[in-house]
Structure 1
């Protein structure tokens, strides 16, 4: 397409001067259309191509942060994942228990008692919207943590918990990331967050890219530049020949 634009520019001597503006407009449109339909799809794939390089660097690891339903069989999930090539570790980190919107008195009460329910509760946070987030010690299971809280809750409130969420961290080899993401997706699990060289590369590449509309405008402007080169190509050739002749004559003197 740029060859076509260049060729149009070279026809300047055969068209009225006022038509040059039309040539530049056409060159911009052709450049923009070419950018939108041919170059933009390639441009959009740059983050994926950059992350592919990181996936194939030996030793790179990626961490997937999983939010799982309390009904998930964590033991079976861990065994299945650990049997997959590229598995590094699986760690249950915390649980979230949604209750009801707390008033000030209830907030104070839960904040005062949660730390005494179980010595394996490493830290906790009670929010006004009724969520209790409890971080658990390493190597302590989320099942035991939930059972402990559920037993206390039933004793105090005479009711059972209807739902809770388990948070876990899955560390895998970057080269096997696609395999683990596929296996998790088949179970209806999608990582809520991800960290590691692959994700860093994706984030850095995305942040450095300009919006698609700007990219298309740049390709249009490039078309105008190519057209201008075509328009003044002959003049530039004449100038080059005169300059070379001048230099030869200067050397003879």
Structure 2
């Protein structure tokens, strides 16, 4: 949210509280039983003002808090990406590496969907995968037909998919139509938005993010009140402001008596 808009919202809420205060002040000209009505109206105005003007600012609090971390030199964020094998990884890497704030892009694993496997097929794939390519660091085969293969450092997903596809075609006579590439993109915290825009051009949204900025956002979200509770609190603020208006004259009398008492005490 723009700072100017946020300030306007805050000013509008303050104006509403001034109006509530004014309602409280004219309570002396109403029957005593009307005090409940004044407090109810004050609560509604506070709740409505909080919902329309303060809650949008409150919801932006995690992003505002993360701005500090974004501007700390040396802070880095890790984006975990799930990419289609149809994406040109060389082109993507080239576009990302040219962007200021780029640290590294590492292809970590591939996931190949097959068909539902029985126990014998799971055992067979677990046995044969280690012999297909020595660069397969680790692998996991599930009964729902997903083969997840971890890659050694500096080994590309293209080469890994080619090795498996060549073996698959030789054994089964078919081809692999789709696979997913898992990668880790490390960037400067101050440049997160730039890289998110580039990834969005490829239809990619990070599945997870880790780093100082994301930790700040997560911690702030955890500590924040639900929207309903926040609105109720702003309603309670309206009630407090109304009470200040109702008893303003009493506060003024007490304040004058207190100042008089202090002056007399000093004279003694």
Aligned to 1:189: 204
1:108-136 residue CA offsets vs partner (Å, 9 max, x unmatched) = 11122212221111111111211000000
Secondary structure at 1:18's aligned position in 2? helix
Question: Of residues 167, 180, 190 in structure 1, which corresponds to 2:195?
Answer: 180
| Structure 1 residue 242 displacement after superposition | 2.8
Secondary structure at 1:217's aligned position in 2? helix
1:52-73 residue CA offsets vs partner (Å, 9 max, x unmatched) = 2221211111111111111111
What is the root-mean-square deviation of aligned Cα atoms in Å? 1.5
| Structure 1 residue 237 displacement after superposition | 2.0
Aligned to 1:149: 164
More displaced stretch, 218-227 vs 53-62: 53-62
Whole-angstrom distance in 2 between the partners of 1:87 and 1:165: 23
Whole-angstrom distance in 2 between the partners of 1:123 and 1:64: 22
Aligned to 2:219: 204
Runs of 4+ in 1 over 2 A off after TM superposition: 239-253
Aligned to 2:83: 68
Question: Of residues 241, 245, 248 in structure 2, which corresponds to 1:230?
Answer: 245
Q: Structure 2 unaligned runs (5+)? A: 1-15
Aligned to 2:12: none
The aligned runs of 1:19-34 (5 Å cut-off) are: 19-34=34-49
Question: Of residues 40, 53, 58 in structure 1, which corresponds to 2:68?
Answer: 53
Whole-angstrom distance in 1 between the partners of 2:53 and 2:199: 34
1:79-129 residue CA offsets vs partner (Å, 9 max, x unmatched) = 121111111111110000000111111111112221222111111111121
Whole-angstrom distance in 1 between the partners of 2:266 and 2:101: 70
Change in CA separation of 1:249 and 1:50 when aligned onto 2, cut-off 3 Å = closer
Q: TM-score, normalised by structure 1?
A: 0.95
Aligned to 1:92: 107
1:116-172 residue CA offsets vs partner (Å, 9 max, x unmatched) = 221111111111211000000000111111111111212222211111111111111
Whole-angstrom distance in 2 between the partners of 1:202 and 1:136: 31
Q: Structure 1 unaligned runs (5+)? A: none
1:35-65 residue CA offsets vs partner (Å, 9 max, x unmatched) = 0111111111111111222212111111111
Whole-angstrom distance in 1 between the partners of 2:265 and 2:94: 84
